[in-house]
Amino acid sequence: MTSDEGWLAAMWPFVRAWLPSAPARVLEIGCGPLGGFVPALSRGGYDAVGVDPEAPEGPGYHRVQFERYQSPQPVDCVVACTSLHHVGDLDLVLDLVGAALVPDGAVVVVEWAWERFDEATARWCFARLAPPEPASEPAWLHRRREDWAAAGQPWDACCQAWATHEGLHTGRAITRALDARFDRRLWTYGPYFFADLLDTTEADEQAAIDAGQIHPDDRHPVRRHAALKRSLPARHPRGLPAAGRFEAGQRQVGRVGLR
C-alpha cells in the first residue's frame, strides 16, 4: 500500500460515517490522482463524482478545477479531503459548494492546519522519514527537510515562506470560511503525518501528540475533521448561502457541536 492509499484508507471511516444514506449524489473536490473516495463511494451505492485537474481518466471523474465545473444537478453531499487549503479563492469555492448542494445537504471536510506545523513536529516527522528513493521525486516531507537545511533559517520562517509560495490557506482561515456558511455537526482534530512516515501508525502519532512530543505549546493536533450541514436560512442577495451560526465544536474525537 502506498502512503496515499494508506491515508485514504485511514480517512474513509470518518468520511463514510458522515455521508447521507445511499443512494445519494456525492461530489468530491480534489479527489487526487487515485480518485480519492470515489471508488469506495461507487462501491457503496453512491452516485459519486470526483472533480480535480489531477483526477484519473474515466467515468465519474472531471479533470477540471471545482470552480470551473458545473454539476448537472444539485448534490446531497460534498466531500473535500485536504484539498481546500490548495484552492485559489477559498470564499468562491465555498460559495460554490453551498450552491451545488441540495437544501440541508452535507459537507464533509478533512483539512490540514499548516500553521500548526511547528519545529517540534517537523523534527518528529523528519526523524521518521524513509531514506529518499534515488530514482523518484522526493516526497513533500523530504523536500521540507531539504529546504530547511538549505535555507539556514528558523523552521517557522522556512515553513511560512513555503506556505506563502504555495498559496496555502491556513486551517484557521478554512475554519472561518466554513463556519460562515455551514452549521457544524462535528469538529475534531487528529494525526496528519503518519501515512508519510516510516513504520508510523495513526495511533503512534496520536500517542506523540498526547505525550506532548508534537505541538508542545499547543495541545491541538493538526488535522481537522469537520462535518457540516448547509445553513438553511435565507440567502443573501447574490443568491449565495447566508452565514450560519454555531456553537463551538469540541476538540475531542467523536464529540459533536450542534447548533
Ligand X SMILES: C[S@@+](CC[C@H](N)C(=O)[O-])C[C@H]1O[C@@H](n2cnc3c(N)ncnc32)[C@H](O)[C@@H]1O
What type of residue is 49?
Answer: V
Nearer to ligand X, 52 or 179 (CB): 52
Say whether residue 96 binds ligand X (CB under 6 A).
no
Q: Dig out the grid coordinates for 235 from the structure.
A: 440567502
Q: Give me the amino acid identity at 142.
A: H
Residues 117, 147 contacting (CB under 8 angstroms): no
Cα(70)–Cα(96) distance, rounded to whole angstroms?
A: 10
31 near ligand X, judged by CB under 6 A: yes
Candidates 31-39, 148-156, 163-171, 178-186 — which segment interacts with ligand X by CB under 6 A?
31-39
Query: Shortest approach of ligand X to residue 10 CB, angstroms?
Result: 10
The answer to the question of residue 97 lying near ligand X (CB under 6 A) is no
CA distance 108 to 126: 30
For 185-202, b where at least 16 C-beta lie within 10 A, e where not — what string? bbbbbbbbbbbbbeebeb
Could you say which of 24, 25, 36, 246 contacts ligand X (CB under 6 A)?
Answer: 36
Task: Identify residue 159 by its one-letter amino acid code.
Answer: C
Stretch that binds ligand X, among 26-34, 185-193, 197-205, 239-247 (CB under 6 A): 26-34
Closest approach of ligand X to the CB of residue 51, in Å: 5
The least CB distance from residue 39 to ligand X, in Å, is: 12
Specify the residue for cell string 516527522: 125
Instruction: Give the nearest distance from C-beta 53 to ligand X in angstroms.
Output: 5
Question: Does residue 167 belong to the site contacting ligand X (CB under 6 A)?
Answer: no
- Could you give the string, one character per residue 39-78, with x where binding to ligand X holds by CB under 6 A and - elsewhere? ------------xxxx----------xxx-----------
Query: What does the per-residue mask of binding to ligand X show for 144-163, with x meaning CB under 6 A?
Result: --------------------
DSSP codes, 195-259: GGSTT--HHHHHHHHHTTSSSTT----SEEEEEEEE--SPBPTTSSBPPP--PPPPSSTT-----
Q: Which helix (H) or strand (E) holds 164?
A: helix 155-166
Distance of CA 242 to the CA centre of its chain: 23
Contact yes or no for 83/54 (Cβ under 8 A): no
Residue 8 in contact with ligand X, rule: CB under 6 A: yes
The residue within the footprint of ligand X, chosen from 16, 39, 56, 86 (CB under 6 A), is 86
Least CB distance from residue 62 to ligand X, whole Å? 9
Residue ranges that bind ligand X, judged by CB under 6 A? 4, 7-8, 29-32, 36, 51-54, 65-67, 81-83, 86-87
